[in-house]
Amino acid sequence: MSQVKLKNVRLSFPNLWKAVEFKTGDGKPRYDATFLVEPGSDNDKAIKAAVRETAKETFGAKWEAILKSLEGNTNKMCYLDGNLKEYDGYKGMMYLACHAKARPYVCDKNPKVQLTEEDGRPYAGCYVNATVEIYAQKGDKQGVRASFTGVQFAADGDAFSAGKPASANDFEELEEGAGSDML
């Protein structure tokens, strides 16, 4: 297993607050997050190095052939070409799909300030830092996978389809009695 710290990546499909079953009725709830990574960036290089190192450790002498056979398979490889998806923000990017059994640590720019779902961040489309672990499995479930242990809100970004929750900044203060003519 190799740990990677991602910096300033976009967050997609976040399920950070409540574990949900991947397949309805399977009894295996999990947390999810996908991180969009710029090809050629330091993040990209770190993930690829971790994937290679983990494959070497797990698959031994045949690691290169096994890794090549897993590439492009969404059921067997965690790090894939975003151009294969029709989702907001994926074009021209790589994506790292992560899952976790334990609730991740979710914090604000100040890492000592834990965030809750009610804070409205992080959200799909914002920029985050994340701690992820790359691991490989042998046997029937052979593949290279990723889990995540923490997500730190880094900066706002254009919200993806689900949208960013409203905040107090989205409204103007009304004078007493204003808007009562609408009742």
Instruction: Output b/e per residue, 121-157; b: 16+ Cβ within 10 A.
Output: bbbbbbbbbbbbbbbbeeeeeebbbbbbebbbbbeeb
pLDDT (tens digit per residue) in 8-53: 999 999 999 999 887 666 678 999 999 999 999 999 999 999 999 9
Cβ atoms of 26 and 137 closer than 8 Å: no
pLDDT range class, residue 171, cuts 50, 70, 90: confident
Contacts of 87 (CB under 8 A, 6+ apart): 12, 160, 161
Nearest one of 56, 105, 99 to 78, comparing CA atoms: 99
Please, which pLDDT band fits residue 87 given cuts at 50, 70 and 90?
A: very high
How high is the mean pLDDT of the chain?
Answer: 90
Q: What is the CATH number of domain 2-155?
A: 2.40.50.140
Q: For residues 175 and 177, give the distance between their C-alpha atoms in angstroms, rounded to a whole number.
A: 6
Task: Tell me how far the alpha carbon of residue 18 is from its chain's centroid.
Answer: 15
Domain boundaries, the chain: 2-155
92-122 residue pLDDT tens: 999 999 999 999 999 999 999 999 999 999 9
